[in-house]
Amino acid sequence: MCRKGKIVKLIIATIKPFKLEDVREALTLVGVRGMMVSEIKGFGSQSGHTEIYRGAEYAVNFVPKAKLEIVVPDAMADQVVEAIAKTARTAKIGDGKIFVLDVESAVRVRTGETDDDAL
Amino acid sequence: MKLMKYFPLVALLTLPSTGFAQEIADTTPQMADIGYILTTFMFLVTGVLVFWMAAGFTMLEAGLVRQKNTTMQLMKNMALFSMASIMYYLVGYNLMYPGDGWSVSGVLGAFLPTTLEPVGLADTETDLTYASVGADFFFQLMFCAATASIVSGTLAERIKLVPFLIFTLVLTSLIYPIQASWKWGGGFLAPGDGSVTDFLDFAGSTVVHSTGGWAALAGALILGPRLGKYKDGRTNAMPGANLPLATLGTFILWMGWFGFNGGSQLYMDTAGNVADISRIMANTNLAAAGGAVAALIMTQILYKKPDLTMVLNGALAGLVSITAEPLTPGLGVATLIGGIGGVIVVFAVPMLDRLKIDDVVGAIPVHLFCGIWGTLAVVLTNPDATIGAQIKGIVVVGVFVFGVSLVLWMILKAVMGIRVSEEDEMRGLDIAELGMEAYPEFVQG
């Protein structure tokens, strides 16, 4: 059995865009040194609505969100999830979701270090 | 007070300069020249303002199309303006203002390129009661180019570049100058001795705006709507990619219109004339304001939220509406005339959609419908206008421009096709026709 895969986790989180700065700060306090952020659109139970453009109705099905992808050692994963969940919560629908995945391997491009050393 | 400090200089300049005669040539303009100088100068300034409307149209269109079609709009506008300039020089100006050289009197002007007066007006007997040929040509050229740009907005996002430019070539060299000659060139629509009508169109609600609108309508009918625009009985919105540009474009057009209407006074040689120009500019501004506010209120009422793109159209609608008669109305009436234009576009835009006529920027409601309204509205404030003459002018120009444009679009469609392929329309004209994105997302380096 390859235990190496469980040493590194990928955490994918979707949050409301205005929460991004607060979450980033909270994660820095937890010890996260890097993350990837993308602007996405999506929907969950927060359904869309219709708007009118020049007299024609159109459905706005997708809502803007921020997606974070953070790769951390296994030991840190739970803290990261908790930090995101606590900071991003507004208690209204559309707060987002967090997923934790196993990472098969990781490499630092500059030095060639792998797995834990790559983080 | 402050003026006193200039007294010695003024005295020096106006006192007989016997002692200076040998050293400084007297370059004081002759009284007869002064009107000519001022009017010529006025045309140059207002001509530059109308030129600036090209930037306005370009930005408006660039902002109202989707991102993937932006470069194409920019290209079309650069090209059409340049082509209009060249065609107006080669044939348009003399076709429009043949003077005594009509090919068919009152109907078809002269087929000659433009020649300006010689440098320094050397050895010429210049008619000093008007302006230089250069200024007149320069000013009128801008109107020709403005007409061409109206068509570009309606047909955006699915037309091929080359057939569009060919249409522009014919529009600016023949269609526009010929119909304009009938009214402004002293042809059969012009008022005066032996005239058939007293059709009044101060700055071109019919001659420029409706003409562009008819050509656009003809094109829209032959070209067809964008893919996916009308599906299963619904109209699908295709929001523009850059509202700041669209708004900037509208303000630029508004600014240019001061030249468009102001310069159409055609003279700035007397106190009366320059006061009229001030009246015209004030009215023009209020008409735009009336149109914008009307559109704001109407869209708020109809859709519960005001629509910026309709407010932009509303301002332009107001401007087009006042263009036929910006001089005689009072400020209040000018505002109302513009306001009615704003209301017209708010209803006209969805109406075109119900008829499945896809006009990307609302040029047909703004230029054609309000061009007609503006032409009719002349009778409200100008006692020399009659509703019959106005209708006659509208119909004659409409039949000619729409008819010729329709035939031309049909020929172009048959000969070379005017629409890009479905795949290209999906990909976007910027990549398909020009290979150049307007907002490249992944920049190298």
Q: B310 and A54 in contact by Cβ < 8 A? A: yes
Q: A53 and B239 in contact by Cβ < 8 A? A: yes
The pLDDT tens digits of the residues spanning B340-366 come to 999 999 999 999 999 999 999 999 999
Number of domains in chain A: 1
DSSP SS3 for A2: coil
Give A 8-47 residues with CB within 8 A of chain B: none
Contact list in A for residue B353 (CB cut-off 8 A) is 54-56
- Measured in whole angstroms, the distance separating CA B437 from the mean position of its chain's CA atoms is 29
CA distance B48 to B258: 11
Spell out the per-residue pLDDT of chain B, length 445, in tens: 566 665 656 555 655 544 444 567 777 777 778 999 999 999 999 999 999 999 999 999 999 999 999 999 999 999 999 999 999 999 999 999 999 999 999 899 999 999 999 998 877 777 788 899 999 999 999 999 999 999 999 999 999 999 999 999 999 999 999 999 999 998 988 876 544 457 999 999 999 999 999 999 999 999 999 999 999 989 999 999 999 999 999 999 999 999 999 999 999 999 999 999 999 999 999 999 999 999 999 999 999 999 999 999 999 999 999 999 999 999 999 999 999 999 999 999 999 999 999 999 999 999 999 999 999 999 999 998 999 999 999 999 999 999 999 999 999 999 999 999 999 999 999 999 999 989 887 655 5
Strand order in the sheet with A63-73: A36-42, A63-73, A8-15, A98-102
ipTM above 0.85, yes or no: no
Q: A56 and B237 in contact by Cβ < 8 A? A: yes
For position B196, what pLDDT does the model report? 47
For position B127, what pLDDT does the model report? 79
Q: Give the CA dihedral B277, B283, B285, B291, nearest 10 degrees.
A: -150
- For chain B, the residue count is 445
Q: A52 and B309 in contact by Cβ < 8 A? A: no
Task: Note down the domain range covering A35.
Answer: 4-118
Q: Kindly report the nearest CA distance between residue A91 and chain B, in angstroms.
A: 28
Q: A57 and B239 in contact by Cβ < 8 A? A: no
Check pLDDT > 60 for residue A110.
yes
The pLDDT tens digits of the residues spanning A22-45 come to 999 999 999 999 999 999 998 887
Tokens of B145: 């180019």
CA distance B261 to B56: 16
Q: Kindly report the nearest CA distance between residue B51 and chain A, in angstroms.
A: 29
Tokens of B149: 């740009």
Residue ranges of the alpha helices (H) in B184-225? Answer: 211-223
For position B296, what pLDDT does the model report? 98
Cβ(B20)–Cβ(B108) below 8 Å = no
For position B76, what pLDDT does the model report? 97
Q: Kindly report the nearest CA distance between residue A33 and chain B, in angstroms.
A: 25
For position B4, what pLDDT does the model report? 65
Q: Give the CATH number of the domain where residue A75 resides.
A: 3.30.70.120
Q: Is residue A62 less than 8 Å (CB to CB) from chain B?
A: no
CA distance B214 to B5: 59
Q: Kindly report the nearest CA distance between residue B307 and chain A, in angstroms.
A: 7
Q: Is residue A53 less than 8 Å (CB to CB) from chain B?
A: yes
- Which of A51, A56, A58 is the closest to B353 by Cβ? A56
Q: A56 and B303 in contact by Cβ < 8 A? A: no
For position B351, what pLDDT does the model report? 97
| Mutant choice from A49, A52, A54 vs B, greatest count of B C-beta within 10 A | A54
Tokens of B31: 């009284």
For position A7, what pLDDT does the model report? 84
Contact list in B for residue A52 (CB cut-off 8 A) is 237, 303, 305, 307
Strands (E), B121-239: 230-231, 234-235
Contact list in B for residue A55 (CB cut-off 8 A) is 235, 302-303, 349-350, 353
Angle of CA points B189, B214, B107, to nearest 5°: 30
Domain spans, chain B? 34-110+132-434
B120: left (phi over 0), alpha (psi -120 to 50) or beta: left
Q: Kindly report the nearest CA distance between residue A56 and chain B, in angstroms.
A: 6
CA distance B141 to B208: 12
Q: DSSP states of A37-70 as a string?
A: EEEEEE-SSS--EEEEETTEEEEE--EEEEEEEE
| Residue A1: band (very low, low, confident or very high) from pLDDT cuts 50, 70, 90 | very low
Question: What is the pTM for the complete model shown?
Answer: 0.88
CATH topology of domain B34-110+132-434: Ammonium transporter fold (1.10.3430)
Q: A58 and B237 in contact by Cβ < 8 A? A: yes
Cβ(A14)–Cβ(A97) below 8 Å = yes
CA distance B107 to B103: 8
What's the Cα-to-Cα distance from B86 to each of B82, B102, B133, B144, rounded to whole Å?
6, 21, 16, 11
